[in-house]
Structure 1
Amino acid sequence: MKKLLIPILTLAALTSYGQNPAPARPQTKTTALMSGTVHVGNGQVIPNGIVLFTNGVITNVVDGTIVKLNLSDVEVIDVSGKHVYPGFISPASTVGLQEVGAVRATVDKQEVGILNPNVRSLIAYNTDSEIIPTIRNNGVLLTQAMPQGGTISGSSSIMMADGWNWEDAVLKKDDGIWLNWPAYFTRDFNFDDFTTVVRKDEKRASAIEALRATFADAKAYAALSNQTPMNLKLESMRGLFSGKQNLYIRADYGKDIIDAVTFAKSVGVQKVVIVGGEEANRAVTFLKENNVPVILSGLHRLPNREDEDVDLPYRMPGILQKAGILVGLSYADEWWRTRNLPFLAGTASGFGITDREEALKLVTSNTAKILGIDNLAGTLEKGKQATLFVSSGDALDMRTNVIEQVFIQGRKVNLDDRHKRLYKTYKDKYEQK
């Protein structure tokens, strides 16, 4: 028996080494982050700030040179020379819904069918994903798990980057319904000659008519109460007409953006958000007049038109923000790159947004407002959840974004991840030579 025990224990040790760290335990003692540069997330910076939080909630954020606090029976963490930020928020993401794109068993981001408003990404969120710890290590602590596929994909939910299961990790359930707007043109990439083929969508008109009928039914259903039997598809859209849910519309071309928003308003939807928005600059006036926020996807790309400036994607957040449009940033389909979200804001700050704190809003307070969680997250203010992190340098710069401590609802999170384990493995290997 003893001979068998040693190999079994060895195997168990190796297996545990390859697993993600266990979720953090609840905060038990009031914590104070002392003497760091506090980036509030609303444009304000406190050079010698103190952030105090207890039971997962921020109780005070003050200038340590002006206000003196009673810190007896408080866990004091000295963060002098470091930076304290609100947790970055990644909207329009499939983190937790897919792991390896080429392995079908690890992909759970969409359902079969065309009109699936009742599909919930919430219950598919995998808290054991090895991608989640990697995004925490760049300060991304909240993510919006969005569904894909079909014309109406389903509902998204806001998830925390820590938890035993989706019930633990959820911050806001079913925050909105996702619609893939039928575009005038579709783009297909030709791998033979590495060109993009643009073709007209002949089924666009019929797809829009089907949508109009669905939304008409949903609006009529929403006017009823205690409907029996319940229609799950129509019930899931009820919040669109009361303003409790957003309608997230994926649209890129300028005319498609205008058509999509006009359609949504005409069928009674209260809150609309454009996602993608590659040509949002062509609909700036319309978006501002209709008070429609935009979640831009992937700034690190080339423009889609030959006559556009090569740096237009980089300048897009600044163009929209200067026009008074609420803007957030996302990596959308590129879930494996979500950890680089803060660097999109860093890019924007060098191309049109001159104030670094205004660029910070693109991944903090702006996104929180768009998603409807600004009462809980997005800024470091009294009464909000203590979801924040400490970086040794500027968190929007990949050269200085070194995350040293992370707190999610006040819980101190273990920052181990697969990247670090592999780095250490091969560093040790080659240092032995």
Structure 2
Amino acid sequence: MKRLLISILTLASLMSYGQNPAPAKPQTKATALLNGTIHIGNGQVIPNGVIIFENGIITNVADATVVRLAMDNLDVINVAGKHIYPGIISPASTVGLQEIGAVRSTVDKQEVGILNPNVRALIAYNTDSEIIPTIRNNGVLLTQAMPQGGTVSGSSSVMMADGWNWEDAVLKKDDGIWLNWPAYFGREFDLADFTVVVKKNEKRNEAIAALKATFADARAYAAEPSHTPMNLKLEAMRGLFSGKQNLYIRADYGKDIIEAVTFAKSVGVPKVVIVGGEEANRVVTFLKDNNVPVILSALHRLPNREDEDVDLPYRMPGILQKAGVLVGLSYADEWWRTRNLPFLAGTAVGFGVTDREEALKMVTSNTAKILGIDNVVGTLEKGKQATLFVSAGDALDMRTNVVEHVFIQGRKVNLDDRHKRLYNTYKEKYQQK
């Protein structure tokens, strides 16, 4: 019996060691971060500032060298020499929807079928994912869980990187519908000679005809306030025509981008966002004239064409920014690398973006505007949610981004994760020799 008890206790301790930390408890006392460099997220910087938040809401952001505040009833954290940033937002992400790409049972990012506007990524979001704590440790505190597959994939939702379940973690439900625009050409990887083969899409016209019929039905359906019985597919698209939801269109080729945006406008969708945009530089004037924001795919990649400059993906954010296009950055399908999102912004600074604060906007306030959550997050301003982090150095530089404090809606989050546990395990092992 004694041996059994010891075995059970040992097993329990090992299980707790391997699990993620529990979600943070609600804020109970007003907190002040004092003497840090505050990066507001809108281009402004306060070199020596103070930020106060209570009940999860920012109540004051000020220059600590000018204002005098009573600190008696505050939990004061001195962050002198450190940097305070708004929580970084990862759009177009499958974090929480898949864990291990090669293990089918851990992948829940798409449904079977071609036209699935009624599918909701929200309910598949797994708050117990081992990946979520790793993104928090680089300051990524919000993620947009997006569906994939088919032509119309379903709706996305904006989630917080902390919570017991998806009901706790959701910040904005069903913010938009996702459309994979039928491209003129498709790219396939040829395993025989390890090359990418470009092929004409023979089913393109058929797919576009189906889209036109679906959107025509959805627009007519949305013109009536209610229907009995309810059509779940068309009901899910109702918000597209009122402007309540975005239409996120995955498109890369320049001609596809123009055609996709023109289609959306023709069917009465006012809010369109291009996702991917690998050739957005070719249609930058069109995007600006039609007020279409772009969520770029990962910058750390090779260009699509052999005759393009090898650094074109790195320069893309600067090209769009200087043209006046609203730009956000993402890692899209590479969910395991989402923790490196702030470093994409750092790369953009070295390749044409005006300055570091403009690059920071591409992973904070710009993305918040695109997703329609800029009224509550994206910048460190009075009245917004206290979703922020403190880094020992520049958050956009992988050499100095050492996150020391994280707050999500004012809740102080435990920064333990699987990476740290493994590091400490093997550090101890090899230091013994």
Please state which band the TM-score falls in when normalised by the shorter chain: over 0.9
CA apart distance, 1:200: 0.5
Matches within 5 A, 1:268-283: 268-283=268-283
Q: What does the per-residue CA deviation read over 1:159-193, in whole Å, with 9 as the maximum and x for residues that have no partner? A: 00000000000000000000000000000112332
User: What is the deviation of 1:298?
Assistant: 0.6
Cα deviation for residue 354 of structure 1 reads: 3.2
Q: How far apart are residue 353 of structure 1 and its match? A: 1.0
> 3-state DSSP class of the match of 2:393?
coil
State the distance in 1 between where 2:31 and 2:424 align. 31
Counterpart Cα distance in 1 of 2:176 and 2:216? 18
User: After TM superposition, which residue ranges in structure 1, 4 or more long, deviate above 4 angstroms?
Assistant: none
Residue matched to 1:43: 43
Q: Deviations over 1:366-400 (max 9, x none)?
A: 00000000001100000000000000000000000
Is 1:238 matched up with 2:249? no
SS of the residue corresponding to residue 247 of structure 1 reads: strand
In 2: Cα distance, 1:192 partner to 1:398 partner:
37
Match of 1:295 in 2: 295
> What displacement does 1:69 show?
1.1
Opposite residue 392 of structure 2, the aligned amino acid is S
Rounded Cα–Cα distance in structure 2 between residues aligned with 1:45 and 1:226? 48
- Partner residue in 2 for 1:143: 143
The answer to whether residue 194 in structure 2 is matched with residue 194 in structure 1 is: yes
In the alignment, the residues of structure 1 paired with residue 302 and residue 216 of structure 2 have an alpha-carbon distance, to the nearest angstrom, of 39
2:286 corresponds to 1:286: yes
Amino acid at match of 1:324: G
The SS at the match of 1:363 is coil
Question: Secondary structure of 2:34's match?
Answer: strand
Mapped partners of 2:69, 2:232: distance in 1: 52
Task: Give the C-alpha shift of residue 45 in structure 1.
Answer: 0.3
Q: Distance in 2 between matches of 1:353 and 1:184?
A: 31
1:133 maps to 133
Which residue identity is paired with 1:32?
A
| Cross-structure match for 1:312 | 312
How do residues 164-179 of structure 1 correspond to structure 2 at under 5 angstroms?
Answer: 164-179=164-179
Please state how far the C-alpha of 1:131 moved relative to its aligned partner.
0.2
**Pairing of 1:206-355 with structure 2 (within 5 A):** 206-355=206-355
Counterpart for residue 26 of structure 1: 26
Residue 410 of structure 1: how far off its partner (Å): 0.2
CA distance in 2, matches of 1:3, 1:38: 55
Instruction: Name the aligned partner's letter for residue 432 of structure 1.
Output: Q
Task: Give the AA of the match of 1:175.
Answer: D
- Residue 161 of structure 1: aligned partner: 161
Q: Deviations over 1:200-240 (max 9, x none)?
A: 00110110010000000000000111211000000000000
Pairing 1:122–2:122 present = yes
Counterpart CA distance in 2 for 1:100 and 1:302 is 25
Amino acid in structure 1 at the alignment position of 2:185: F
| Correspondence list, 1:359-370, <5 A | 359-370=359-370
Structure 1 residue 195, shift from structure 2 partner: 1.2
SS of 1:275's equivalent? strand
Which amino acid letter does the alignment assign opposite residue 153 of structure 1?
S
- Sequence identity, in percent? 84
Equivalences for 1:401-420 in 2 at 5 Å? Answer: 401-420=401-420
Q: Deviation string for 1:270-316 (max 9, x for gaps)?
A: 10000000000011010001000000001001111111111100000
Deviation for aligned residue 1:4 = 1.2
Q: Displacement, 1:12?
A: 0.2
Question: Partners in 2 of 1:155 and 1:36 — Cα distance?
Answer: 39
Displacement of 1:2 in angstroms is 2.4
Per the alignment, in what secondary structure is the counterpart of residue 362 of structure 2?
helix
Q: Distance in 2 between matches of 1:340 and 1:31?
A: 28
Extract unaligned runs of 5+ from structure 2.
Answer: none
Give 2:104's aligned residue: 104
Shift in Å at residue 152 of structure 1?
A: 0.1
Structure 2 CA distance for aligned equivalents of residues 223 and 86 of structure 1? 39
Taking the aligned partners of 2:331 and 2:354, their CA distance within structure 1 comes to: 22
Q: CA deviation at 1:194?
A: 2.0
- Aligned partners of 1:171 and 1:193: how far apart in 2? 46
2:183 is aligned with what amino acid? A
In 1, the alpha carbon distance for the partners of 2:330 and 2:29 equals 35
Aligned to 1:374: 374
Q: Secondary structure at the match of 1:337?
A: helix
The CA RMSD measured in Å over matched residues stands at 0.5
Q: Measure, in 2, the Cα distance between the counterparts of 1:191 and 1:91.
A: 31
CA-to-aligned-CA distance 1:134-154 (integer Å, 9 cap, x gap): 000000000000000000000
Give the aligned partner of residue 8 of structure 2: 8
Cα offsets for 1:20-46 (capped at 9, x unmatched): 000000000000000000000000000
Cα separation, 2, equivalents of 1:47 and 1:237 = 46
Name the CA distance, whole Å, in 1 between partners of 2:197 and 2:31.
Answer: 56
> Which amino acid is the alignment partner of residue 239 of structure 1?
G
Give the drift of 1:71: 1.4
Question: How far off its partner does 1:405 sit?
Answer: 0.5
How far does residue 330 in structure 1 lie from its aligned partner after superposition? 0.4
Matches of 2:273 and 2:70, distance apart in 1:
44
Aligned counterparts of 1:77 and 1:84: Cα–Cα separation in 2 = 12
What does 1:34-113 correspond to in 2, within 5 Å?
A: 34-113=34-113
TM-score, normalization by structure 1: 1.00
Amino acid corresponding to residue 431 of structure 2 in structure 1 = E
CA distance in 1, matches of 2:99, 2:255: 34
Structure 1 regions of 5+ residues with no counterpart? none
Structure-2 separation of matches of 1:78 and 1:45: 18
